[in-house]
Amino acid sequence: MLRNTLLACALASSLTAAPLMAEDYAIDTQGAHAFIQFKIKHLGYSWLLGRFNEFGGDFSYDEKDPSKAKVKVTIQTASLDSNHAERDKHLRGKGFLEVKEYPQATFVSTSFTEQADGKAVLKGDFTFHGVTKPLSIDVTHVGAGNDPWGGYRRGFEGRTSFALKDFGIERDLGPASQEVELYLSVEGIRQ
Amino acid sequence: MPWKNTKTDYGWLSKSIHGLSILVVFGLFALGLWMQGFDYYHTWYRTAPYLHKSIGILLFVLTVARLIWVMSHPKPLAIAGSPRWEQRVAHIVHTALYLLLFAIMLSGYLISTADGRGIAVFNWIEIPALPWALQGQEDIAGDIHKILAFSLMGLVVLHALAALKHHFISRDRTLRRMFF
Protein backbone atom coordinates (compact mmCIF):
# COMPACT_ATOMS: atom_id res chain seq x y z
CA MET A 1 0.00 0.00 0.00
CA LEU A 2 2.73 2.40 1.08
CA ARG A 3 4.74 1.36 -1.95
CA ASN A 4 1.79 2.15 -4.22
CA THR A 5 1.38 5.55 -2.58
CA LEU A 6 5.06 6.31 -3.02
CA LEU A 7 4.87 5.15 -6.61
CA ALA A 8 1.87 7.40 -7.17
CA CYS A 9 3.72 10.36 -5.63
CA ALA A 10 6.76 9.64 -7.78
CA LEU A 11 4.57 9.44 -10.86
CA ALA A 12 2.74 12.65 -9.95
CA SER A 13 5.96 14.54 -9.38
CA SER A 14 7.39 13.27 -12.65
CA LEU A 15 4.31 14.60 -14.43
CA THR A 16 4.80 18.12 -13.12
CA ALA A 17 8.48 18.11 -14.00
CA ALA A 18 9.92 19.63 -17.16
CA PRO A 19 8.41 18.40 -20.44
CA LEU A 20 9.79 15.00 -21.29
CA MET A 21 11.44 14.11 -24.54
CA ALA A 22 9.68 10.82 -25.24
CA GLU A 23 6.10 9.84 -24.70
CA ASP A 24 5.65 8.30 -21.28
CA TYR A 25 3.24 5.49 -20.54
CA ALA A 26 2.13 3.94 -17.29
CA ILE A 27 1.41 0.23 -17.50
CA ASP A 28 -2.33 -0.31 -17.07
CA THR A 29 -2.36 -2.68 -14.13
CA GLN A 30 -5.38 -0.91 -12.65
CA GLY A 31 -7.53 -2.07 -15.56
CA ALA A 32 -5.52 -5.31 -15.79
CA HIS A 33 -4.51 -4.80 -19.40
CA ALA A 34 -1.09 -6.16 -18.61
CA PHE A 35 0.00 -9.70 -17.89
CA ILE A 36 3.18 -11.41 -16.82
CA GLN A 37 3.00 -15.14 -17.28
CA PHE A 38 5.56 -17.85 -16.84
CA LYS A 39 5.70 -21.27 -18.36
CA ILE A 40 7.85 -24.26 -17.43
CA LYS A 41 7.75 -27.88 -18.51
CA HIS A 42 6.28 -30.36 -16.06
CA LEU A 43 8.42 -33.51 -16.16
CA GLY A 44 8.86 -32.84 -19.88
CA TYR A 45 5.31 -34.02 -20.54
CA SER A 46 3.32 -30.79 -20.46
CA TRP A 47 3.54 -27.07 -19.79
CA LEU A 48 2.80 -25.57 -16.43
CA LEU A 49 1.53 -21.99 -16.61
CA GLY A 50 1.40 -19.35 -13.96
CA ARG A 51 1.44 -15.61 -13.59
CA PHE A 52 2.30 -12.74 -11.32
CA ASN A 53 -0.78 -10.86 -10.24
CA GLU A 54 0.94 -7.78 -8.83
CA PHE A 55 3.43 -5.71 -10.74
CA GLY A 56 3.77 -2.21 -12.03
CA GLY A 57 5.91 -0.05 -14.19
CA ASP A 58 6.15 2.40 -16.99
CA PHE A 59 7.77 2.82 -20.34
CA SER A 60 8.57 5.58 -22.74
CA TYR A 61 8.35 5.23 -26.49
CA ASP A 62 8.72 7.84 -29.16
CA GLU A 63 7.76 6.75 -32.66
CA LYS A 64 10.26 9.24 -34.10
CA ASP A 65 13.12 7.70 -32.18
CA PRO A 66 12.30 4.20 -30.89
CA SER A 67 15.91 3.55 -29.92
CA LYS A 68 15.36 5.86 -26.93
CA ALA A 69 12.57 3.67 -25.60
CA LYS A 70 12.86 2.73 -21.95
CA VAL A 71 11.06 0.25 -19.74
CA LYS A 72 10.99 -0.40 -16.02
CA VAL A 73 8.87 -3.12 -14.48
CA THR A 74 8.71 -4.25 -10.85
CA ILE A 75 7.09 -7.56 -9.97
CA GLN A 76 5.86 -8.46 -6.49
CA THR A 77 7.15 -12.02 -6.35
CA ALA A 78 4.71 -13.12 -3.63
CA SER A 79 1.85 -12.56 -6.07
CA LEU A 80 2.83 -15.70 -7.95
CA ASP A 81 -0.26 -17.65 -8.93
CA SER A 82 -0.22 -21.06 -10.59
CA ASN A 83 -3.82 -21.83 -9.65
CA HIS A 84 -2.76 -24.25 -6.91
CA ALA A 85 -2.25 -22.93 -3.37
CA GLU A 86 0.05 -25.73 -2.20
CA ARG A 87 2.28 -25.37 -5.25
CA ASP A 88 2.30 -21.57 -4.95
CA LYS A 89 3.37 -21.93 -1.33
CA HIS A 90 6.28 -24.12 -2.42
CA LEU A 91 7.26 -21.80 -5.25
CA ARG A 92 7.29 -18.82 -2.89
CA GLY A 93 9.37 -20.73 -0.37
CA LYS A 94 12.80 -22.14 0.20
CA GLY A 95 14.76 -23.33 -2.80
CA PHE A 96 12.52 -21.44 -5.20
CA LEU A 97 11.60 -17.75 -5.21
CA GLU A 98 12.12 -17.16 -1.46
CA VAL A 99 9.81 -14.18 -1.62
CA LYS A 100 10.37 -13.12 1.99
CA GLU A 101 14.04 -12.48 1.22
CA TYR A 102 13.46 -11.31 -2.35
CA PRO A 103 10.04 -9.65 -2.44
CA GLN A 104 10.61 -7.93 -5.77
CA ALA A 105 11.91 -8.74 -9.21
CA THR A 106 12.75 -5.88 -11.53
CA PHE A 107 13.56 -5.35 -15.16
CA VAL A 108 15.27 -2.12 -16.19
CA SER A 109 15.97 -1.68 -19.87
CA THR A 110 19.35 -0.71 -21.23
CA SER A 111 18.65 -0.72 -24.98
CA PHE A 112 15.83 -1.08 -27.47
CA THR A 113 16.57 -2.05 -31.05
CA GLU A 114 13.72 -1.98 -33.55
CA GLN A 115 13.70 -4.41 -36.44
CA ALA A 116 11.32 -4.92 -39.32
CA ASP A 117 7.58 -5.72 -38.96
CA GLY A 118 7.17 -4.08 -35.58
CA LYS A 119 9.61 -6.48 -33.96
CA ALA A 120 12.29 -5.32 -31.57
CA VAL A 121 14.86 -6.57 -29.12
CA LEU A 122 14.71 -5.11 -25.65
CA LYS A 123 17.78 -5.59 -23.50
CA GLY A 124 18.01 -4.84 -19.84
CA ASP A 125 19.05 -5.87 -16.36
CA PHE A 126 16.79 -8.40 -14.75
CA THR A 127 16.95 -8.75 -10.98
CA PHE A 128 15.33 -11.92 -9.74
CA HIS A 129 15.93 -13.92 -6.57
CA GLY A 130 18.57 -11.37 -5.60
CA VAL A 131 20.62 -11.94 -8.76
CA THR A 132 21.00 -9.30 -11.46
CA LYS A 133 21.80 -10.46 -14.98
CA PRO A 134 21.33 -9.06 -18.47
CA LEU A 135 18.21 -10.36 -20.17
CA SER A 136 17.08 -9.95 -23.76
CA ILE A 137 13.36 -9.83 -24.56
CA ASP A 138 11.93 -10.36 -28.05
CA VAL A 139 9.30 -7.69 -28.43
CA THR A 140 6.43 -7.21 -30.82
CA HIS A 141 4.71 -3.85 -31.07
CA VAL A 142 1.03 -4.77 -31.03
CA GLY A 143 -0.58 -1.41 -31.62
CA ALA A 144 -1.27 2.14 -30.45
CA GLY A 145 -4.03 4.69 -30.69
CA ASN A 146 -6.82 6.53 -28.97
CA ASP A 147 -8.98 4.59 -26.58
CA PRO A 148 -12.75 5.19 -26.41
CA TRP A 149 -12.46 7.09 -23.09
CA GLY A 150 -10.26 10.00 -24.09
CA GLY A 151 -6.89 8.40 -23.48
CA TYR A 152 -4.08 7.15 -25.66
CA ARG A 153 -2.72 3.63 -25.33
CA ARG A 154 0.16 1.61 -26.68
CA GLY A 155 0.86 -2.09 -26.25
CA PHE A 156 3.69 -4.55 -26.65
CA GLU A 157 4.20 -8.21 -26.07
CA GLY A 158 7.49 -9.78 -25.12
CA ARG A 159 8.97 -13.23 -24.83
CA THR A 160 12.09 -14.37 -23.09
CA SER A 161 13.49 -17.34 -21.24
CA PHE A 162 16.20 -18.03 -18.72
CA ALA A 163 17.65 -20.89 -16.72
CA LEU A 164 16.49 -21.02 -13.10
CA LYS A 165 20.02 -21.93 -12.00
CA ASP A 166 21.35 -18.68 -13.50
CA PHE A 167 19.36 -16.83 -10.88
CA GLY A 168 20.41 -19.04 -8.00
CA ILE A 169 17.27 -21.17 -7.86
CA GLU A 170 18.68 -24.52 -6.87
CA ARG A 171 15.65 -26.77 -6.58
CA ASP A 172 15.82 -29.26 -9.42
CA LEU A 173 12.55 -29.90 -11.20
CA GLY A 174 14.11 -32.34 -13.65
CA PRO A 175 16.11 -32.19 -16.86
CA ALA A 176 13.19 -30.87 -18.94
CA SER A 177 12.45 -28.09 -16.47
CA GLN A 178 15.69 -26.14 -16.26
CA GLU A 179 14.41 -23.16 -18.22
CA VAL A 180 11.42 -20.98 -17.58
CA GLU A 181 9.76 -18.92 -20.29
CA LEU A 182 8.25 -15.54 -19.62
CA TYR A 183 5.50 -13.93 -21.62
CA LEU A 184 4.63 -10.30 -21.07
CA SER A 185 1.68 -8.47 -22.51
CA VAL A 186 1.80 -4.83 -21.60
CA GLU A 187 -0.56 -1.97 -22.36
CA GLY A 188 0.48 1.51 -21.36
CA ILE A 189 -1.68 4.59 -20.95
CA ARG A 190 0.04 7.75 -22.14
CA GLN A 191 0.60 10.13 -19.27
CA MET B 1 -11.01 -53.61 32.65
CA PRO B 2 -14.19 -51.51 32.28
CA TRP B 3 -14.62 -49.51 29.09
CA LYS B 4 -15.81 -46.44 31.00
CA ASN B 5 -13.75 -44.43 33.44
CA THR B 6 -14.05 -45.40 37.11
CA LYS B 7 -13.29 -43.26 40.16
CA THR B 8 -9.71 -44.51 40.23
CA ASP B 9 -8.87 -45.46 36.63
CA TYR B 10 -9.45 -44.51 33.04
CA GLY B 11 -11.52 -47.02 31.08
CA TRP B 12 -10.15 -48.77 28.04
CA LEU B 13 -11.92 -46.37 25.68
CA SER B 14 -10.12 -43.34 27.12
CA LYS B 15 -6.84 -45.25 27.22
CA SER B 16 -7.20 -46.36 23.62
CA ILE B 17 -8.02 -42.90 22.29
CA HIS B 18 -5.16 -41.40 24.30
CA GLY B 19 -2.70 -44.02 23.05
CA LEU B 20 -3.84 -43.74 19.45
CA SER B 21 -3.59 -39.94 19.60
CA ILE B 22 0.01 -40.20 20.84
CA LEU B 23 0.95 -42.40 17.87
CA VAL B 24 -0.91 -40.29 15.31
CA VAL B 25 0.28 -36.91 16.61
CA PHE B 26 3.93 -37.99 16.67
CA GLY B 27 3.51 -39.68 13.30
CA LEU B 28 1.97 -36.59 11.69
CA PHE B 29 4.61 -34.32 13.18
CA ALA B 30 7.44 -36.50 11.89
CA LEU B 31 5.79 -36.93 8.50
CA GLY B 32 5.21 -33.19 8.25
CA LEU B 33 8.85 -32.42 8.99
CA TRP B 34 10.21 -35.19 6.80
CA MET B 35 8.16 -34.40 3.69
CA GLN B 36 9.30 -30.77 3.60
CA GLY B 37 12.73 -31.70 2.37
CA PHE B 38 11.58 -33.93 -0.47
CA ASP B 39 13.09 -33.64 -3.89
CA TYR B 40 10.47 -33.28 -6.61
CA TYR B 41 11.28 -36.76 -7.89
CA HIS B 42 11.02 -38.42 -4.47
CA THR B 43 8.69 -41.44 -4.57
CA TRP B 44 6.83 -40.07 -1.56
CA TYR B 45 6.51 -36.53 -2.90
CA ARG B 46 2.79 -36.96 -3.49
CA THR B 47 2.02 -39.79 -1.07
CA ALA B 48 3.37 -38.17 2.09
CA PRO B 49 1.20 -35.01 1.97
CA TYR B 50 -1.78 -37.14 0.95
CA LEU B 51 -1.32 -39.34 4.03
CA HIS B 52 -0.59 -36.32 6.26
CA LYS B 53 -3.85 -34.63 5.23
CA SER B 54 -6.00 -37.77 5.24
CA ILE B 55 -4.80 -38.92 8.66
CA GLY B 56 -4.97 -35.35 9.99
CA ILE B 57 -8.66 -35.12 9.14
CA LEU B 58 -9.36 -38.52 10.69
CA LEU B 59 -7.57 -37.33 13.83
CA PHE B 60 -9.87 -34.30 13.84
CA VAL B 61 -12.92 -36.56 13.76
CA LEU B 62 -11.43 -38.72 16.53
CA THR B 63 -10.59 -35.67 18.64
CA VAL B 64 -14.08 -34.19 18.34
CA ALA B 65 -15.56 -37.54 19.40
CA ARG B 66 -13.00 -37.72 22.21
CA LEU B 67 -13.90 -34.26 23.47
CA ILE B 68 -17.61 -35.12 23.49
CA TRP B 69 -16.79 -38.26 25.43
CA VAL B 70 -14.53 -36.43 27.90
CA MET B 71 -17.07 -33.71 28.56
CA SER B 72 -19.98 -36.08 29.01
CA HIS B 73 -18.28 -38.60 31.30
CA PRO B 74 -16.57 -38.07 34.66
CA LYS B 75 -12.82 -38.41 34.89
CA PRO B 76 -11.21 -40.45 37.63
CA LEU B 77 -10.84 -38.46 40.85
CA ALA B 78 -7.65 -36.52 41.41
CA ILE B 79 -4.91 -38.49 43.13
CA ALA B 80 -5.39 -38.19 46.89
CA GLY B 81 -3.08 -35.64 48.40
CA SER B 82 -2.11 -33.91 45.13
CA PRO B 83 -1.95 -30.14 45.59
CA ARG B 84 -4.68 -27.89 44.13
CA TRP B 85 -2.22 -25.89 42.00
CA GLU B 86 -0.96 -29.08 40.41
CA GLN B 87 -4.49 -30.10 39.45
CA ARG B 88 -5.15 -26.64 38.11
CA VAL B 89 -1.96 -26.58 36.00
CA ALA B 90 -2.75 -30.06 34.70
CA HIS B 91 -6.20 -28.89 33.67
CA ILE B 92 -4.79 -25.82 31.89
CA VAL B 93 -2.24 -27.96 30.03
CA HIS B 94 -4.89 -30.48 28.97
CA THR B 95 -7.11 -27.66 27.68
CA ALA B 96 -4.17 -26.10 25.84
CA LEU B 97 -3.35 -29.46 24.23
CA TYR B 98 -6.87 -29.70 22.84
CA LEU B 99 -6.85 -26.07 21.67
CA LEU B 100 -3.50 -26.50 19.95
CA LEU B 101 -4.63 -29.70 18.25
CA PHE B 102 -7.71 -27.98 16.82
CA ALA B 103 -5.78 -24.86 15.81
CA ILE B 104 -3.19 -27.00 14.01
CA MET B 105 -5.91 -28.94 12.21
CA LEU B 106 -7.71 -25.76 11.20
CA SER B 107 -4.53 -24.07 9.93
CA GLY B 108 -3.58 -27.20 7.99
CA TYR B 109 -7.01 -27.29 6.40
CA LEU B 110 -6.66 -23.62 5.44
CA ILE B 111 -3.35 -24.26 3.64
CA SER B 112 -4.68 -26.93 1.34
CA THR B 113 -8.06 -25.33 0.71
CA ALA B 114 -6.77 -21.80 0.04
CA ASP B 115 -7.42 -22.18 -3.70
CA GLY B 116 -10.91 -23.63 -3.27
CA ARG B 117 -9.82 -27.25 -3.69
CA GLY B 118 -11.16 -29.73 -1.18
CA ILE B 119 -9.09 -32.25 0.77
CA ALA B 120 -9.41 -35.90 -0.16
CA VAL B 121 -9.46 -38.31 2.76
CA PHE B 122 -7.96 -41.52 1.33
CA ASN B 123 -9.96 -41.10 -1.90
CA TRP B 124 -12.89 -41.91 0.28
CA ILE B 125 -14.56 -38.60 1.01
CA GLU B 126 -13.63 -35.07 0.10
CA ILE B 127 -13.77 -32.24 2.63
CA PRO B 128 -14.83 -29.11 0.74
CA ALA B 129 -13.06 -25.77 0.97
CA LEU B 130 -14.63 -22.70 2.51
CA PRO B 131 -16.32 -20.41 -0.01
CA TRP B 132 -13.82 -17.60 0.68
CA ALA B 133 -10.12 -17.26 1.34
CA LEU B 134 -7.72 -14.59 2.50
CA GLN B 135 -5.05 -13.13 0.28
CA GLY B 136 -1.93 -15.26 0.79
CA GLN B 137 -3.87 -17.65 3.00
CA GLU B 138 -1.68 -20.66 2.24
CA ASP B 139 1.42 -18.79 3.41
CA ILE B 140 -0.14 -17.34 6.58
CA ALA B 141 -1.80 -20.63 7.52
CA GLY B 142 1.44 -22.46 6.75
CA ASP B 143 3.47 -20.32 9.16
CA ILE B 144 0.81 -20.75 11.86
CA HIS B 145 0.63 -24.51 11.26
CA LYS B 146 4.38 -24.84 11.76
CA ILE B 147 4.65 -22.63 14.85
CA LEU B 148 1.69 -24.33 16.53
CA ALA B 149 2.97 -27.82 15.69
CA PHE B 150 6.27 -27.06 17.42
CA SER B 151 4.37 -25.47 20.33
CA LEU B 152 2.27 -28.62 20.66
CA MET B 153 5.40 -30.75 20.76
CA GLY B 154 6.81 -28.52 23.50
CA LEU B 155 3.62 -28.86 25.54
CA VAL B 156 3.53 -32.62 24.94
CA VAL B 157 7.04 -32.87 26.41
CA LEU B 158 5.89 -30.89 29.46
CA HIS B 159 2.80 -33.11 29.76
CA ALA B 160 4.93 -36.27 29.55
CA LEU B 161 7.51 -34.94 32.02
CA ALA B 162 4.72 -34.16 34.49
CA ALA B 163 3.40 -37.72 34.13
CA LEU B 164 6.91 -39.11 34.65
CA LYS B 165 7.33 -36.91 37.71
CA HIS B 166 4.19 -38.48 39.17
CA HIS B 167 5.44 -41.96 38.34
CA PHE B 168 9.03 -41.72 39.51
CA ILE B 169 9.08 -38.93 42.09
CA SER B 170 5.61 -38.79 43.62
CA ARG B 171 5.26 -42.55 42.99
CA ASP B 172 1.51 -42.31 42.41
CA ARG B 173 -0.83 -43.86 39.80
CA THR B 174 -1.23 -40.81 37.53
CA LEU B 175 0.78 -42.30 34.66
CA ARG B 176 -0.25 -45.91 35.12
CA ARG B 177 -3.96 -45.22 35.19
CA MET B 178 -3.82 -43.82 31.64
CA PHE B 179 -2.00 -46.84 30.20
CA PHE B 180 -2.88 -50.51 29.94
Residue A17, pLDDT score: 43
Query: What average pLDDT score do residues A149-157 get?
Result: 96
pLDDT higher at A13 or B145: B145
User: Considering only residues 159 to 188 of chain A, which have any Cβ-Cβ distance to chain B shorter than 8 Å?
Assistant: 171-174
CB-based contact, B138 to chain A, within 8 Å: yes
To the nearest whole angstrom, how far is the Cα of B97 from the nearest Cα of chain A? 27
pLDDT higher than 90, residue B57: yes
pLDDT higher than 50, residue A15: no
B112, A174: Cβ pair inside 8 Å? no
Residue A4, pLDDT score: 54
Model pLDDT for residues B67-84, shown as the tens digit of each residue: 999 999 999 998 888 899
How many inter-chain contacts (A to B, CB under 8 Å) are there? 31
All residues of chain A having their beta carbon less than 8 Å from the beta carbon of residue B142 are 89
pLDDT higher than 70, residue A9: no
Model pLDDT for residues A72-85, shown as the tens digit of each residue: 999 999 999 999 99
Judged by DSSP in three states, B46 sits in coil
CB-based contact, B40 to chain A, within 8 Å: yes
Residue A16, pLDDT score: 45
Residue A22, pLDDT score: 63
Give CA–CA dist B31/B114, Å, rounded: 21
**A89-117 CB burial, b ≥16 within 10 A, e <16:** bbbbbeebbbbeebeebbbebeebebeee
Model pLDDT for residues B136-158, shown as the tens digit of each residue: 999 999 999 999 999 999 999 99
Q: How confident is the model at residue A18 (pLDDT cuts 50, 70, 90)?
A: very low
Give CA–CA dist A59/A27, Å, rounded: 7
Residue A136, pLDDT score: 98
Residue A20, pLDDT score: 47
pLDDT higher than 70, residue B3: yes
Mutate to test the interface with B, among A82, A89, A91, A164 (most CBs of B within 10 A): A89
pLDDT higher than 70, residue A109: yes
Q: How confident is the model at residue B37 (pLDDT cuts 50, 70, 90)?
A: confident
Query: What average pLDDT score do residues A84-105 get?
Result: 95
Question: How far is CA A100 from each of CA A127, A130, B15, B136, B150, rounded to the nearest angstrom?
Answer: 15, 11, 44, 13, 21
The dihedrals phi and psi of A103, each to the nearest 5 degrees, come to: -70, -20
pLDDT higher at B180 or A45: A45
Domain A20-190: which CATH number of 3.40.50.11930, 2.40.128.110, 2.20.25.240, 3.20.20.60:
2.40.128.110
Model pLDDT for residues A22-64, shown as the tens digit of each residue: 699 999 999 999 999 999 999 999 999 999 999 999 999 999 9
pTM recorded for the entire structure: 0.85
Strands (E), chain A: 24-27, 34-42, 46-52, 55-60, 70-76, 80-81, 104-114, 119-128, 131-146, 152-163, 179-190
